[in-house]
Amino acid sequence: MNHYFCTFAAAALLALCPASSGASEAAAPWGTATEIAPTYHNQKVVFDVTADNLGGLNSVLDRAGYLSQMNGDDPFAVKIVLVIHNDAIPFFAIKNYAKYQKLMQRAYSASLGKIIEFRMCKAAARLRGLAPKDIHGFITMVPMAEAEIARLQLEQGFAYMR
């Protein structure tokens, strides 16, 4: 047999069957995680937002806000764009404000620092019977979500997040 294959196979078997020398090793056979503390700055990120529930949308807002903080909340260096389409659209409709008031107030507040920006797919909104006049004023309408996400990635160097 090939020497490299045997070495790989032996290592794989050892990884699957770790030697245990005590109860704590049985609970954490590979030890515990290590931490690193990199600094983050000048990041440009686009979130692809399609969540169909409040928990999912609040999670995206949490992540975008934390990402902004991790980058020093610098409006000259950090840009976070949330592109809203599909099932996330109805949450941002003016007619649904009473139902989603807390979420909309939170989203609007996030947009005030000019770091986090909200854009919505006009084509998908139209399919739901919504025009720009039906969407809250802190949202910018774009022709197509996927085209906007691709443009931000290819032309402006944004990283993609889901």
Q: Which residues are CB-neighbours of 109 under 8 A, at least 6 positions away? A: none
Band the pLDDT of 8: cuts 50, 70, 90. very low
Band the pLDDT of 26: cuts 50, 70, 90. confident
Average predicted confidence (pLDDT) for the chain = 90
Q: Give per-residue pLDDT as tens, 99-155.
A: 999 999 999 999 999 999 999 999 999 999 999 999 999 999 999 999 999 999 999
Q: How many angstroms separate the Cα of 144 from the Cα of each of 7, 15, 80, 83, 91?
A: 52, 48, 18, 10, 18
Q: What is the pLDDT of residue 10?
A: 45
Domain ranges of the chain: 44-161
Pull the structure tokens for residue 49: 């937002």
CB burial of residue 53 (10 Å; 0-12, 13-18, 19+): exposed
Percent of the chain with pLDDT over 70: 85
Phi, psi of 139 (to 5 degrees): -100, 140
Rounded to two decimals, the pTM is 0.82
Percent of the chain with pLDDT over 90: 84
Q: Give per-residue pLDDT as tens, 44-85.
A: 999 999 999 999 999 999 999 999 999 999 999 999 999 999
Q: What is the pLDDT of residue 25?
A: 65
Q: 3.40.1260.10, 1.10.510.10, 3.10.20.30, 3.30.479.30: which CATH number matches 44-161?
A: 3.40.1260.10
